[in-house]
Each structure stands twice: as C-alpha cells, then as structure tokens.
C-alpha cells in the first residue's frame, strides 16, 4: 500500500524530525529520549524517508565508467587511489574509464568484491 505524502506534510515531518534529533543530541544520544520521543522520531523519519524515496531517487549508473565514478565520489578517491584499491594500474583504469579498454573478468570481480557493486548489474552492463 502506497501512502501519498504532500510536500507540506514532508516539510513538517522533516522539521519535527530535526527538532527531535537536536533533543537527542542535547541529551547525549538516542538512548536518552523518552519512549514517546523515540516513537515520534521513528514516525517522522519514516514519513521523510517515504517522501524522499518517492521524489528524490537517483538512478544507478548504467556503465562501468559511471559506476567507478560514483564509487570514487562516495569514497572521495582520486583515480590513482581507485586503481590501487582495485589492484590495477593507473593506466589500465584510465583506459577503462575512457572506453579504450574493456574491463577484464578479474577487474569486474574486484569491483564486485571490493566496491560492493552487484555482480548481476556488472554482467548486464558488459554483456549489452
């Protein structure tokens, strides 16, 4: 069952959530919230999450290069650091990033194991 949440309801829930988070911070953590405050925080958080999931989804990149760039951004890595993390050379990674070389099976395996990228997604991207 999908519940429609208006922008005004979202704004109010976000405001209330932030106020409760500030209370938790001031008290020294979530463990110090009253039972009622904890329940309210949970409810407001669910409303905010539902609205954001519905209106602010970010599409997953559909290229190996896009996935690498996303992971570099998430981990705040430069291309040279990403190459080291993936146990490859700067040159090989650069060639893959510029579509001059196809990623090897071992490279895709490293993307899956080290970066946590879904193996099925990688297979679909390289096989299409």
Residue-wise pLDDT for 93-107, tens only, equals 999 999 999 999 999
Strand extents, DSSP E, 28-120: none
Report the C-alpha gap between 5 and 16 in whole angstroms. 15
Residue-wise pLDDT for 48-100, tens only, equals 999 998 888 778 899 999 999 999 999 999 999 999 999 999 999 999 999 99
Residue-wise pLDDT for 12-52, tens only, equals 999 999 999 999 999 999 999 999 999 999 999 999 999 99
Residue closest to 108 by CA, chosen among 92, 93, 123, 97: 123
Query: CA triplet 69, 74, 79: central angle to 5 degrees?
Result: 45
With 0.75 as the threshold, say if the pTM is over it.
no
């Amino acid at each position: 069952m999908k519940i429609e949440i208006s922008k005004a309801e979202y704004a109010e829930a976000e405001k209330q959530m932030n106020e409760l988070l500030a209370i938790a911070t001031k008290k020294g953590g979530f463990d110090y919230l009253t039972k009622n405050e904890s329940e309210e925080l949970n409810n407001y958080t669910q409303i905010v999450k539902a609205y954001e999931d519905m209106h602010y989804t970010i599409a997953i990149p559909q290229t190996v290069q896009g996935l690498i760039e996303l992971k570099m951004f998430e981990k705040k890595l430069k291309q040279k650091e990403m190459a080291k993390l993936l146990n490859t050379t700067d040159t090989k990674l650069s060639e893959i990033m510029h579509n001059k070389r196809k990623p090897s099976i071992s490279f895709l395996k490293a993307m899956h194991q080290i970066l946590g990228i879904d193996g099925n997604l990688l297979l679909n991207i390289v096989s299409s």
